Structure 1
Amino acid sequence: MTHEGRPDVGRLGVWTDQFDGQPLSAVKDAAAEIEELGYSTLWLSEVTGREALTQATLLLGATSRLVVATGVATIYGRDAVTMAQAERTLAEAFPGRFVLGLGNSHPYLVEQIRGHSFGPRVATMRGYLDAMDAAPFGPTVPGASANRVLGVVGRQMLGLAAQRAWGALPFGMPVAHTARAREILGPEPLLAVGQPVVLESDPDLARQTAHAHVAASLPNRDRALAELGYGEDVSAGGSDRLADAMIASGGLEAVTRRVAEQFKAGADHVCLYVLVPEGRPRIPLEGWRELAAALR
């Protein structure tokens, strides 16, 4: 979806945390191939691997057309002034090619890994955005702040995204959540949806891979999933029903169907996260190639 004056994130992108721990040369080559395959946007995670804005800079430099987005950079990783400086610098250096995705992260990562205190999500993000907008430093780039998105799933955070950002990036949620997110956001804001997929042909291994991802995802999504009718599934630590709702599994036909459902529910952009079973190549190049051929 094209918004005048903003990066063209297109309809399909790639979301990945799989560059962490890989040689930078391989990461740059993978980003270049993602661009050549026809994906419009590459979304980069930030957990315990590379710092998101540095990696975004390197991959913007390794490509020529690809939009690179943080999906998401944690607000606890940099103070608001530093984040604003980085946002303005990248907007100046790569016009129309950088999207700053921001998120609150998770209490464990914030407190146990970073050593900060995790604050109330809405109030903390609102205060951070206020401080970014007021930051006096960094190059003056008209409209740079207009390209922000918030990585959110809850109702109040979606409402904040509608008020204070270009839009939202809900990740790994059922299609019903996309419809709810569109209702909360309204018709204009960008709704970019992160969709995990499993392309493994072995049904047992595919199910195992899906359940492992669901279990790791629940702490940040349990309330929103319960509101969608998955309370018992969450209490059980995940179920086949919940895994099927959160993850497109079963081959290219299943993924194609799920992507179509996400668009029908109101998504403007779907970024695909190819889940990789243990012991398989960490960077899922073959999966990205198969999906590009099937979905173009």
Structure 2
Amino acid sequence: MMQKPTGLGVWCSTNTLNKSELASMAQIVEQKGYTTLWYPESLSFECFALGGFLLSRSNSLTVASGIANIYARDPVTASQGYDSLNHFYPSRFLLGLGVSHVPLVENARGHQYGKPVTTMRKYLNDMETSIIDATIESKERSIVLAALGPKMLELAAAKAKGALPYCVTPSHTAEARSIMGPEQWLCVEQKICFTDDAVTGREVGHKQMARYMKLDNYRNNWLRLGFSEEEI
């Protein structure tokens, strides 16, 4: 059984990295003492295939999807993927699940984007009832949810190990903890820029955040946190 994540992890955009760069990244993250390597799923590498590769190129590092798009595979396949990776690499794969965004679901995959909390709750329920061969089935699955709003955070506390909030502020982290309680896993992604120059930091930050500013899920959360349309 996977233990509660501790220490610092690294979230890395893997979409543009080649095979040798991915292997090197996993090894460097582990050598530097980070406990967890998080990676996304969009339109590049398939989530579980990449997870298996990163696990194979490290020794004890926890590898975590951040996140796997629930529209990319049915709940049984997600259960098989989780159970398979943890069968080959015991207690080292952490499954982050998310509802993704309308463009990546409807435009790219041709699915209908459902109500986020309702859709995620059904997905988790179906994972729980998936029939997986007993030789590989995990007794308990370590799952965290991409959660921004209060209702998804409540679902993460009730039906998963915890939450993976992304593109959020420290005040959101405090709110998430108050909603979820003290014991649930709260794996917060926090962007940093290695510079002492404020102008450079803002330029880099604006460039990196530009793609997220086009996505309604993030915009709505920032507005809820008190940002104005002009600031976004």
TM-score, normalised via structure 1 length:
0.74
Match of 2:230 among 202, 225, 236: 236
Match of 2:36 in 1: 41
Q: For 1:132-164, what per-residue CA distance to the aligned partner results, in whole angstroms no more than 9, with x for missing partners?
A: 111113422211x2x000011111000000000
- In the TM superposition, residue 220 of structure 1 has moved relative to its aligned partner by 1.9
Higher relative contact order (CA 8 A, sep 6+): 1
- 1:206 and 2:187 are equivalent in the alignment: no
Contact 1:150 1:168 in 2 (8 A): yes
Aligned sequence identity (%): 37
Match of 2:21 among 20, 26, 34: 26
Match of 2:164 in 1: 169
Higher helix share: 1
Match of 1:112 among 103, 107, 110: 107
- 1:192 and 2:187 are equivalent in the alignment: yes
Match of 1:159 in 2: 154
Q: In 2, distance between residues paired with 1:200 and 1:117?
A: 42
Determine helix, strand or coil for the equivalent of 2:53: helix
Q: In 2, distance between residues paired with 1:49 and 1:7?
A: 30
- 1:142 and 2:136 are equivalent in the alignment: no
* Structure 2 alignment gaps of length 5 or more: none
Determine helix, strand or coil for the equivalent of 1:197: coil
- In the TM superposition, residue 216 of structure 1 has moved relative to its aligned partner by 2.4
| Aligned residue runs from structure 1 range 1-296, under 5 A | 5-17=1-13, 19-138=14-133, 139-143=136-140, 145=141, 147-200=142-195, 203-218=198-213, 219-230=216-227, 232=228, 235-236=229-230, 238=232
- In the TM superposition, residue 223 of structure 1 has moved relative to its aligned partner by 2.5
Q: Residues 214 and 21 from structure 1, CA distance in 2 versus in 1: closer, same or farther, beyond 3 angstroms?
A: closer
Q: In 1, distance between residues paired with 2:188 and 2:138?
A: 27
Q: For 1:225-271, what per-residue CA distance to the aligned partner results, in whole angstroms no more than 9, with x for missing partners?
A: 222221x1xx1152xxxxxxxxxxxxxxxxxxxxxxxxxxxxxxxxx
Contact 1:74 1:104 in 2 (8 A): yes
- In the TM superposition, residue 205 of structure 1 has moved relative to its aligned partner by 3.4
* Greater mean deviation of Cα atoms: 169-178 or 208-217: 208-217
2:7 aligned partner, one-letter code: R
Aligned residues: 228
TM-score, normalised via structure 2 length:
0.93
Contact 1:215 1:237 in 2 (8 A): no
Q: In 2, distance between residues paired with 1:16 and 1:22?
A: 10
* Greater mean deviation of Cα atoms: 8-17 or 174-183: 8-17
Contact 1:8 1:40 in 2 (8 A): no
Aligned alpha-carbon RMSD (Å) = 1.5
- In the TM superposition, residue 208 of structure 1 has moved relative to its aligned partner by 1.7
